[in-house]
Structure 1
Amino acid sequence: MNPAQSSSIAVTDELARFAAALDWETVPPHVQAIMPVLMIDMFRAAAVGSDKPWTRAVGQSFGSATGADCASLLYAGRRIEAGRAAFINGTAAGGLDWDDSHVAAIIHPGVCIWPAALAAAEIAGASGRELLTAVLAGYEVAIRVGMSIQPEHSLRGFQGTPTCGALGAAVACARLFRLPAERLRDALGIAATFACGLSQFFVSGSDIKRFHAGKAAANGIEAALLARAGLTGPRDAIEGSQGFGRAFSDRFDPSTAVKDLGRHFPTEWVSLKPHAGSVRMQAAIEGAAMLARAGVRIEQVASMELGVHGAMMSKLAANRPVDYQQAQLSTPFAAAMAVALAPGREGPLTLSVDDFEQYLDDPAIRDLSARTRCVVDARVEALTTAEAVPARVTITMKDGSRVEQFVEHPKGCPRNPITADEVVQRFAAIAAPRFGAGPVDAWLEQARHPERLASVAPLFSLRG
């Protein structure tokens, strides 16, 4: 296609009309069932992240703003200007790298969309069913646009979460404000020009990824508020000759964004993560942990080789992380942690953000990480799907022997899911010590069936 020409497919308009018309009753039951699970998992991440230093820093910078449209801060019992509430709540949920992920779109949709949509739902007095419908529309738009520009979007140095996530957040909020399709299209156009997010943190570390999702959530609700006020965005903001798709990718496929729209829901391919790191690292962590629990001990290891997908090599293969944000994006470091920690822990191994902070300077783990290399693996590439990225872990022992583990469907991917009951248990394990078992059980009764709620107010009942 001539890059000077706009697409003949009116992507922006089709997505807007889909989102405005989406009817919860027509959504397949298995997709309906996913949405409360994704919401509870977002609240879990926010419960962990709400007292992290990056969330406190954003809160100190933006937490005092008030205005006509205010929304609640999660777990805080107070309300501030909606855009800033979405920013802080999105930072709390998204700053951990322990959130939902979509492999094909290369984004974390939930931590952008839920915080923005919850704020919009408060403003609009929306019901739980309206919230679920709007958020599903947001997921679909963010994921579909992501799939239409990836992986070139990522390879060019952008992160899809704050770019595509802003589009999904805008759609969800505009739907909750009950805007017609034309105004919803304006919200998309405004969000498209707000969207940005660079990936240099993969190379240099820093805190920036910690608040990418929060900024996307803020951009989304602000775009919807501006559209509600009557401001317009380009009708072809996504597919235009100088629009989102061509500005952010060397390969924009407009047909991918609208294929089977309203009939197939790629939201069902969303993964949840056992470990606080990239979704593409989960199989390698799992494989390393399996070998450790089969008898491998870190002091016996001479070297480790990780067979990975080629798309990981430029961003997830560094083996000497400079800070614990970068450690969470280092497949060698995470696999070395798994070898070290799995034998001493009961139950399924979970690497938390606190683990990465605690063990960043551990001499044995850093030494094994430095002796671990990633290589492109043909079988991994052949078996990678829109749902999961496999990994091969090969460990060479100091006595010259070798052991190997291949993981095709890591825990958390749609073929090997973290179940709804497990999501509830994960939330309760984190939230009960902070808020009390009784209040957490009462909250979960509401959160497991948000479609029954007349308003979203009960979702903000946990405080402390």
Structure 2
Amino acid sequence: MTCSEKMGSFYSGITCQDIPPHVMKKARLTLFDFLCVLRLGAKYTVINPIIKRYLVSLEHPEKYTVLGLKMKSSLEHAVLGMSVVSHGVELDDGHLSSATHPAVAVIPAALAMAEKCHSNLRDLLVSIVVGYDCMIRFAKAINPKHLSLGFHSTSTCGTLGAACAAGWLLGLDSEQLSHALGIAALQSAGLQEMLHENASIKPFQVGKSSSAGIIAAELAALGSKSPSKVFEGQYGWFNAMSNNDYRETDLWDRLGKHWMIMDTYVKLYPSCRYAHAAIDSALELYDEGYRMSNVKNVKLYLFQQGINEVGVFKVPSQYEDALFSVAYSIAIAFQYGKVRIEEIASNLQNTRILEFADNIDIISDKQMTDSFPREAGSRIIFEDDNGNIVVRENKRARADFDTPLTDEEYLLKAAQILENVVHRKYIDVLWEKVVLSDQKMDVKEIIELMNEMGA
């Protein structure tokens, strides 16, 4: 069997009984976190007005809900819109060694298809689990080579996860899902260059990826086929995406026994994950009494890939660039003792914060670089106002896969990021429906609640 045939055979055969309870619980928490981030993105994602004008201009049948844009559109464009909205605030979950953010590619496709198929919560959760698993396995297999070639893994591999999730909900058989994955692979695209200029377009890459996945599933359902060796062929996906520098073992390791959604992290700050260990350190130091006023000669040691992504905009001139500035986030942390979207957005003209960020010396650390992507740590060294040298190192950020948030911490994150967006009662009701309710609940109840929340 070819790679696509093996994957199609495995994922099409998954039933609800195959997913252990603890994995279903993680899927519930993941969905809750995604919906809260999407609601925040409805207010703060920069490109929202442009995407909405684009969708309105298409004059498609308005059948499916575009959460975050307060409108309806065609199936594939509903997916595009929800993905863009949710990815624009850099608070979505992720998987470190695959360099992906699965939620913003997989869940919009799953939600839209669940609305179309009148699915219940249980089936939506299973589709999320299989979509995550497929996406992460492919991305993990081709990284870090894929990343070094300039590709954006969430976009290139999100098509596969979205196609798998949507295809499972459609009830595609083994052959159909195999072709859906192949059609998705043919549409893989996404470049990291957008991190270096006009980063507001970044969510569009992921939105297009998620939309392409759902199109792939629908084409396969109608009988469309793809090359049988679309992945491993001479001119196939593995060669194009990694120069054939990939590990096939990552595709099959513990397949069906370990679900990759269990290895995802949660973001606590609106910033690229590669900045989070440093932000953790700065917030710890703030709690110990350190402020911008008594901190000087700051040196930040990072792994090289982290510098490539969060060390470019030391002094951001616009909001979307600030989400990729570790220096700016550290300055915010030392000033306020918290790093939320409100602080990120409101201090772009704050000369004191910008000067502090500009004076941070960002240095590539070989040991950290060699440890990436197993770890994505940082080391902060500075001099206090008494001349003492202070060192703080974190090898990994909080809320990683093996230090997961508790239920209470998920709720706390939601309350903090949505404090100035929705009333707390809505968060509690959303928690009740997504995390605690009967799995037979119709997904439309979640969509209706999100509409009530202003999404």
TM-score in terms of structure 1 length: 0.90
The residue number in structure 1 matching 2:349 is 361
Rounded to whole Å, the distance in 2 between the matches of 1:204 and 1:28 is 43
Rounded to whole Å, the distance in 2 between the matches of 1:60 and 1:24 is 39
Secondary structure in 1 matching 2:223: coil
Does residue 10 of structure 2 align to residue 22 of structure 1?
no
The residue number in structure 1 matching 2:365 is 377
Distance 1:364 1:451, change over 3 A: same
User: Match for 2:38: what amino acid?
Assistant: A
- Counting only pairs closer than 5 Å after superposition, residues 11-160 of structure 1 correspond to structure 2 as 11-52=3-44, 53-63=46-56, 65=58, 70-74=63-67, 78-160=71-153
Structure 2: gaps spanning 5 or more residues: none
Does residue 260 of structure 2 align to residue 266 of structure 1?
yes
Displacement, 1:242?
1.5
Mean Cα deviation higher: 172-181 or 243-252 = 243-252
Rounded to whole Å, the distance in 1 between the matches of 2:238 and 2:319 is 32
Rounded to whole Å, the distance in 1 between the matches of 2:420 and 2:440 is 26
Does residue 407 of structure 2 align to residue 415 of structure 1?
no
Does residue 320 of structure 2 align to residue 333 of structure 1?
no
User: Match for 1:315: what amino acid?
Assistant: E
Q: For the Cα contact (< 8 Å) 2:25–2:435, is it kept in 1? A: no
Displacement, 1:354?
3.2
Displacement, 1:383?
6.0
Rounded to whole Å, the distance in 2 between the matches of 1:123 and 1:114 is 14
The residue number in structure 2 matching 1:391 is 378
The residue number in structure 2 matching 1:303 is 297
User: Match for 1:412: what amino acid?
Assistant: A
Rounded to whole Å, the distance in 1 between the matches of 2:371 and 2:402 is 13
Displacement, 1:239?
2.3
Q: For the Cα contact (< 8 Å) 1:111–1:213, is it kept in 2? A: yes
User: Match for 1:424: what amino acid?
Assistant: L
Mean Cα deviation higher: 232-241 or 190-199 = 232-241
Secondary structure in 2 matching 1:207: helix
Distance 1:293 1:424, change over 3 A: closer
Rounded to whole Å, the distance in 2 between the matches of 1:301 and 1:442 is 43
Secondary structure in 2 matching 1:185: helix
The RMSD of aligned alpha carbons is 2.4
Mean Cα deviation higher: 59-68 or 141-150 = 59-68
Displacement, 1:416?
2.6
Mean Cα deviation higher: 432-441 or 124-133 = 432-441
User: Match for 1:237: what amino acid?
Assistant: V
Distance 1:332 1:130, change over 3 A: same
The residue number in structure 1 matching 2:286 is 292
User: Match for 1:393: what amino acid?
Assistant: I
Rounded to whole Å, the distance in 2 between the matches of 1:403 and 1:190 is 53
Displacement, 1:184?
0.8
TM-score in terms of structure 2 length: 0.91
Displacement, 1:268?
1.0
Rounded to whole Å, the distance in 2 between the matches of 1:296 and 1:432 is 26
Mean Cα deviation higher: 46-55 or 146-155 = 46-55
Does residue 306 of structure 2 align to residue 312 of structure 1?
yes
Number of matched pairs: 448
Distance 1:314 1:385, change over 3 A: closer
Rounded to whole Å, the distance in 2 between the matches of 1:76 and 1:203 is 27
Structure 1: gaps spanning 5 or more residues: 1-8, 343-348
From 167, 176, 200, the equivalent of 2:169 is 176
Mean Cα deviation higher: 302-311 or 106-115 = 302-311
